[in-house]
A = this chain, B = another copy of it.
Amino acid sequence: MLKVHGMSVSGNCHKVRMVLEALKLPYAWNEVDTVHGTTRTPEFLAMNPNGKAPVLEIEPGAFLPESNAILFYLADETPLLPSDRLKRARVLQWMFFEQYSHEPYIAVARFLRRFHPDPASQRALADSRMDGGYRALEVMEKQLAQDPFFVGGRYTIADIALYAYTHVAGEGGFDLARFPAVRAWLARVEAQPGYVRMRED
């Protein structure tokens, strides 16, 4: 059975749960604590030398790190990933956008404000992440003002990848009031079959 080594409140990990639930795939979940160093232990580094969660254990001993690579692997040949060559590339376009232009701002600001052991000490750093996060939201707003989803007019792993941290952007201090198309899209994602909320425990 598939096994996820991940932290439930991490958007990168939650993406994986969203895809598994949407596809109704059976899986086990091993909760790890990335905030308190679990991902730097020798056992974890043997699964992912880069020391980051999530890691998908495909079978005992076969480990796949990187959230968006896991999404692509799980969704391959399912309705969550188009088979058309250009549409697949567009799904990847938005997933690379997510990891380079969105996550380092929105997820990092959220982490520093909500999960850091001493948020007050991180305030300047968190504040420095806001402009980049708003730029990413503007790019998303432009796309979603034209289309209901990111690629090909239907729900794909590009939406799941971008939903993961966008729906908790408020915890990073971002105000979504001026992004109506983003807010409407969040609601569309939440209405998908198999949608699962981020777990707080």
A2 interface residue per 8 A CB criterion: no
Closest to A70 in B: B89
Residue of A62, A67, A68 ringed by the most chain B CB atoms within 10 A: A68
Establish whether residues B50 and A64, one from each chain, have CB atoms under 8 Å apart when the complex forms: no
Establish whether residues B73 and A86, one from each chain, have CB atoms under 8 Å apart when the complex forms: yes
**Chain B proximity mask over A26-56: 1 for CB below 8 Å, otherwise 0:** 0000000000000000000000011010000
Given that A76-B85, A99-B100 are known contacts, is A68 also in contact with B49, CB under 8 Å in the complex? no
Given that A49-B142, A64-B86 are known contacts, is A72 also in contact with B92, CB under 8 Å in the complex? yes
Given that A72-B89, A73-B86, A86-B73 are known contacts, is A97 also in contact with B139, CB under 8 Å in the complex? no
**Chain B proximity mask over A123-138: 1 for CB below 8 Å, otherwise 0:** 0000000000000000
Number of copies: 2
In the complex the two chains form, what is the Cα distance from A92 to B76 in whole Å?
Answer: 13
Establish whether residues A85 and B73, one from each chain, have CB atoms under 8 Å apart when the complex forms: yes
Q: A89: which B residues are within 8 A, CB to CB?
A: 64, 69-70, 72-73, 76
Give the B-binding residues of A (Cβ under 8 A). Answer: 49-50, 52, 58, 62, 64-70, 72-73, 76, 85-86, 88-90, 92-93, 95-97, 99-101, 103-104, 139, 142-143
